[in-house]
Amino acid sequence: MNRRKRIAILAVVILALAGGAIFYFLTHKPVTNRLTLYGNVDIREAQAAFNDSGFVTNLLVQEGDRVRKGQLIAEMDNQRYRASWTAAMAQAQNQKQILAALLAGSRPEQIAQAKAQMDALAVEYQNDAVNYWRYATLTQTNAATRQQRDDARAARDKAGQNYEAAKQAYVLAVEGPRKEDITAAQAAHDAAIANANLAAVELRDTKLYAPSDGIIEERILETGDMATPQTPVYTIALTNPLWVRAYVPEISVGKIKPGMAVNITTDSYPGKIYSGWVGYLSPNAEFTPQNVETPDLRAELVYQLRVYVCDDNNQLRLGMPATVSIDLAHHAAKGQAVCSR
């Protein structure tokens, strides 16, 4: 066999081996149990503002300070609100005493006084009735004038009316307050209590507390500025819970389950691995955001993924790019909703 034939046969063999290798690699893609995604530490902010209007008197934190949920961070002038609260409390106390008096009913001394008044007027009425009868008899024999008889009758009628009024007053004293009066007093007392509670809330609203754990990103107002519910005092970057927002390709959605273990890395801290877990997978598909994937993949459908991450050393920053690596072969127990700090 000449040299040319050997070269031709060798070339055919090499091409056959190369084609077989290419076919093998195209049809036998390596199987991996780890899914790598790219995203960013989600930017979450809160605009902390007073729920009342007034002048800012004290700002207790500065930009860059870390705050805890419920921490006092600012105060405003509270003189008007304290005065309103004091007046409302006094009104509520007054209505309480009125209601208590009605519920207690008439005192024994009040009943005895009403009875004594009724008895005295009864005697006066009987005396005026006898006096009128005497004048009426004398008038028949002209021993008394008709004017004297008429005056005696008027005195008798007046004494009768006074006695009847005293009698009704005694009956009311024995029976005590009407149910309708007690109900009205109870309603007035409840309204006064509600007004006092509202005044107390408005007084508490002169203090501003951090709505969540975070970092003071911007201090918008200064001492002496007029604060309103529409004007934030601080912008707070929320850091707890902290999560990375990534996007899962449609073909990998079925492999993701809540609670799966996740490793997170960033370019800012090479070699540093943050632990986390899958917390949320969106039920709705969307097109890949342009700031996440390359141009040839932006038209693909993806599902938003929220990965909770623990950052005990406070190294991660909001908006920081992050790489998410999910172990598809193992499930971790669901992590805490808020990482300990």
* Topology (CATH level 3) of domain 45-75+209-238: OB fold (Dihydrolipoamide Acetyltransferase, E2P) (2.40.50)
- The domains of the chain are located at 1-29, 30-43+240-331, 45-75+209-238, 85-201
Distance separating alpha carbons of residues 144 and 150, to the nearest angstrom: 11
Cβ-contact 247, 39 below 8 angstroms: yes
Tens of pLDDT, residues 125-144: 888 888 888 878 888 887 77
What b/e string do you get for 85-123 counting C-beta neighbours within 10 Å, with b at 16 or more?
Answer: beebbebbeebeebbeebeeebeeeebeebbebbeebbe
Whole-number Å distance between alpha carbons of 245 and 237 = 16
pTM: 0.61
Q: What is the pLDDT of residue 62?
A: 94
DSSP letter string, 163-203: HHHHHHHHHHHHH-S-HHHHHHHHHHHHHHHHHHHHHHHHH
What does the pLDDT read at residue 282? 85
So what's the pLDDT on residue 333?
47
C-alpha to C-alpha distance for 286 and 303, rounded to whole angstroms: 6
Q: Write the pLDDT tens digit of every residue in 193-212.
A: 999 999 999 999 999 999 99
- What does the alpha-carbon distance between residue 262 and residue 44 come to, in Å, rounded to a whole number? 21
Q: Are 113 and 235 in contact (CB under 8 A)?
A: no
CA distance 338 to 271: 24
In the chain, what is the greatest distance between 2 CA atoms, to the nearest angstrom?
184
The CATH number of 30-43+240-331, from 2.40.30.170, 2.40.50.1070, 3.90.650.10, 3.40.47.10, is: 2.40.30.170
In 3-state terms, what secondary structure has residue 119? helix
Give residue 336's pLDDT.
45
Cα separation, 21 vs 305, whole angstroms: 37
Helix, strand, coil percentages, rounded to 5, for the chain: 45, 25, 30
Structure confidence at residue 106 (pLDDT): 67
Q: At 217, which amino acid appears?
A: E
pLDDT of residue 63: 93
Cα dist from 63 to 73, 112, 143, 232, whole Å: 12, 74, 109, 14
Residue 338 pLDDT: 43
Give the SS3 label for residue 269: coil
**pLDDT average per 10 residues of sequence, the chain (341 residues):** 59 60 53 80 91 94 93 95 95 89 73 80 84 82 81 86 82 72 87 94 95 92 94 91 88 86 90 89 72 52 88 84 85 48 43
Q: What confidence score (pLDDT) does residue 116 get? A: 83
Helices and strands in the chain: count of H runs, count of E runs: 5, 14
Distance of alpha carbon 125 from alpha carbon 117, whole angstroms: 12
Cα–Cα distance for residue pair 137/334, rounded to 1 Å: 110
